[in-house]
A and B are shown apart, each in its own frame.
Chain A
Amino acid sequence: MYWNSILSWPAGEVHGGEDLSLVERCQAGDETAFAALYHHYAAYIYRLTFSFLQHREDAEEVLQDTFEYAFRRIDRYDAQKASFKTWLYQIAVSRCRNKRRRKWLPTFPLSGLGEGEARDELTPLPEELLALNNRQKQIWQALNSLSPKLREAAVLRYYEGLTYPEIGQVLDIPPKTAESRTRLAHNALKEILIKQSSEGD
């Protein structure tokens, strides 16, 4: 099923092909095309927003916001300017930033996760996070301690596998800035992980 094919974007999504014709059908007002478009992209956008915000309910809310906006503004999508994926990503990124701003997002309460004790009983972890092994919990925590800007770059590079010009387009920054943010994120993660493993010993 489409939900499970997460590892890479469908081939040929950039210009033309199935996606573009779906978008065109939406632009022509075909209701079934909106549902098809949602089913095609929702899992990708959810994973992106969850990775950025590291909070499931917020990720769900931003997912809805993103599609609500995309549906309403589908007429404004221009295939000449960006791939549909990039357009959706741009919407999701700005909505994540708004969400963070509105919430003054406190970092997700994961302190003590590595030790697996002294957790706040009132904020149970979603089951997805309980399924992580120790190394993965460390990674999740390390990502959480990055600034949002660096986390965005790290997610888009490592997880989405985007090129630097693509990262720049999604984040609305020059490719060189995308490169330097990715480098900073990488070095910060390396440092945090080294520190964590030395503390664990």
Chain B
Amino acid sequence: MLAQQHPSGQLSDYVLDLLAPDERRRVDRHLERCAGCREAVQQERAIAHDVRSTLIKATRPQPARLAQLMPPVPAVRRRNRYGLFLRPALALSILLFLFVASLHLYSPGSNGMSNSATATTLAATATTTPTTTAEPHDDATDSANFVEVRALRSAQAIGTPVAAILMMAQN
């Protein structure tokens, strides 16, 4: 009955999915009966289709080129990864050092003799450090080694005054 009222002005909105549901149903019913409007709808759809196929073809990337274009990963992130470990490691080494230093300060044998003994032990420890630093260079392991060596030195530093007193007693 309304076959001659072509919804020409609504066909682009129809294709773009911009019609309200009731308007859309009305256009649908019209299209069932009108070959002219079906043809017009096909032309509207061809625009969308052709834009798509054109862009797919025109903007095709070269995988090798894209790989070249990757920006570097921000340096901050790399530090953060070790930061999670480094900070506690540093805090631990400082704590250990302070603890050991306080022990050393109040130990009964802290006199001139024991100081020179400490110096020799430190020299001896220094010769052992290359074995630890020979490991692969990594901030985290370096810091772990640092803690280890510091603890070892401190233990020896406490031990030497005791050994010195024993030696004096033997003589």
A residues sitting closer than 8 Å to B (CB atoms) are 1, 3, 6-7, 29-31, 34-35, 38-39, 42-43, 46-47, 50-51, 59-60, 63-64, 67-68, 71-72, 128-129, 131-132, 135-136, 139-140, 143, 154-155, 157-159, 179, 182-183, 186-187, 189-190, 193
| Residues of B close to A136: CB separation below 8 A | 50, 53-54, 57-58
CA gap between A72 and B71 in the complex, in Å: 10
Q: Is B56 a contact of A129 with CB atoms below 8 Å?
A: no
CA gap between A64 and B69 in the complex, in Å: 6
| Residues of A close to B50: CB separation below 8 A | 135-136, 139
The smallest beta-carbon distance between A88 and chain B, in angstroms, is 13
| Residues of B close to A132: CB separation below 8 A | 54, 57-58
Interface of B, secondary structure class, is: helix
Q: Is A159 a contact of B51 with CB atoms below 8 Å?
A: yes
| Residues of A close to B80: CB separation below 8 A | 29
| Chain B, 40-74, CB within 8 A of any chain A CB | 44, 47-48, 50-61, 63, 65-67, 69-71, 73-74
CA gap between A100 and B13 in the complex, in Å: 30
CA gap between A112 and B106 in the complex, in Å: 93
Q: Which residue of B lies closest to A71 (CB)?
A: B74
Q: Is A131 a contact of B74 with CB atoms below 8 Å?
A: no
CA gap between A6 and B77 in the complex, in Å: 30
Report which of A51, A60, A157, A183 forms a contact with B12, defined as CB distance below 8 A.
Answer: A183
CA gap between A57 and B129 in the complex, in Å: 54
Please, could you name 27 A-B residue pairs with CB atoms under 8 Å apart, sorted by A?
A1-B63, A29-B78, A31-B77, A35-B73, A38-B70, A39-B67, A59-B59, A60-B69, A63-B69, A68-B71, A71-B73, A71-B74, A128-B57, A132-B54, A139-B51, A154-B51, A155-B55, A158-B48, A158-B51, A158-B55, A159-B51, A182-B16, A183-B16, A186-B12, A189-B47, A190-B12, A193-B47
Q: Is B70 a contact of A42 with CB atoms below 8 Å?
A: yes
| Residues of A close to B51: CB separation below 8 A | 139, 143, 154-155, 158-159, 189
| Residues of B close to A187: CB separation below 8 A | 12
Q: Is B56 a contact of A140 with CB atoms below 8 Å?
A: no
B18 adjacent to chain A (CB < 8 Å): yes
| Residues of B close to A140: CB separation below 8 A | 54, 58
| Residues of A close to B52: CB separation below 8 A | 158-159
Q: Which residue of A lies closest to B69 (CB)?
A: A64
| Residues of B close to A67: CB separation below 8 A | 70-71
CA gap between A96 and B84 in the complex, in Å: 37
The smallest beta-carbon distance between A24 and chain B, in angstroms, is 13
CA gap between A50 and B51 in the complex, in Å: 14
| Residues of B close to A193: CB separation below 8 A | 47
B81 adjacent to chain A (CB < 8 Å): yes
Q: Is B70 a contact of A31 with CB atoms below 8 Å?
A: no
Q: Is A139 a contact of B66 with CB atoms below 8 Å?
A: no
- Quick one: given A158-B52, A187-B12, A190-B12, are A31 and B73 in contact (CB under 8 Å)? yes
| Residues of A close to B47: CB separation below 8 A | 158, 186, 189-190, 193
The 8 closest A-B pairs by CB, nearest first: A50-B59, A68-B71, A139-B54, A136-B54, A158-B51, A47-B59, A34-B73, A29-B77
CA gap between A38 and B59 in the complex, in Å: 18
Q: Is A3 a contact of B16 with CB atoms below 8 Å?
A: no
CA gap between A158 and B58 in the complex, in Å: 15
CA gap between A72 and B59 in the complex, in Å: 27
